[in-house]
Amino acid sequence: METSIIIETIIKAIVVLAVFSALAGFTTYIERKVLAYMQRRLGPSNVGPYGLLQLVADGIKLFTKEDFIPQNAARPVFMIAPIITAATAFIAMSAVPFFPEFELFGYVVRPIIADVNVGVLFVLGVASVGLYGPLLAGMSSANKWSLLGGARTAIQLLSYEVVSGLALLAPLMLVGSLSLIDINNYQAGGFTSWLIWSQPLAFILFVIAGFAETNRTPFDLLEHEAEIVAGYATEYSGLRWGMFFIGEYANLFTVCFLVSLIFLGGFNDLWFIPGGLAIVLKVMFLIFFFLWTRASWPHIRPDQLMWLCWKILMPLAVINILITGFVMMF
Amino acid sequence: MGLEEFKDRNIGVKNYITVQDDNYPKTNGEVFKQIVKRSLKGELFTGLKITFNMMREALFKGKMHTVQYPAEKLPIGPRYRAVHKLLALLESGENRCIGCGLCEKICISNCIKMDTKIDENSRKEVLEYTINMGRCIFCGYCAEVCPELAIVHGQRYENASEQRAHFALKEDLLTPLDKLHLQKEYEGFGAVSPDADEKIQKTPLQY
Ligand code: SF4
Ligand code: SF4
Record: contact B58-A40, CB cut-off 8 A:
yes
Q: Which CATH architecture has domain B81-182?
A: 2-Layer Sandwich (3.30)
Q: What is the DSSP letter of A108?
A: E
Quote the CA–CA distance of A208 and A202 in Å, as a whole number. 10
Closest-CA residue to A209 (of A131, A292, A98, A296): A131
CA distance A154 to B124: 77
pLDDT of residue A27: 85
Read off the pLDDT of residues A9-22 as tens digits, 9 standing for 90 and up: 888 888 888 888 88
In what helix (H) or strand (E) does residue A140 lie, and over which residues does it extend?
A: helix A132-140
**pLDDT tens for each residue of A72-104:** 888 888 888 888 888 888 888 888 887 777 666
Q: Give B40's contacts (C-beta < 8 A, 6+ positions apart).
A: none
A214, A257 Cβ separation under 8 angstroms: no
CB-based contact (8 Å) between B67 and chain A?
no
pLDDT value for A294: 86
Return phi, psi of residue B183, to 5°: -70, 125
Q: With 0-12 CB in 10 A as exposed, 13-18 as middle and 19+ as buried, what is A108?
A: exposed
Closest-CA residue in chain B for A37? B55
DSSP A215-253: T-GGG--TT-HHHHTTGGGTT--HHHHHHHHHHHHHHHH
Minimal-distance CA residue of chain B relative to A295: B51
Region of poorest pLDDT, from A257-261, A282-286, B32-36, B157-161: B157-161
Residue A101 burial (CB count, 10 A) = 14
CB distance B142 to ligand 1 below 6 Å:
yes
Q: Which atom of ligand 1 is nearest to the CA of B106?
A: 7
d(CA B135, CA A71): 38
Give per-residue pLDDT as tens, A194-227.
878 888 888 888 888 888 888 787 888 877 777 8
Residues forming CATH 3.30.70.3270 domain(s) in chain B: 81-182
Q: Residue A311 carries which DSSP code?
A: I
**Alpha carbon distance A29, A56 (integer Å):** 10
Q: How far apart are CA B169 and CA A153, in angstroms?
A: 56
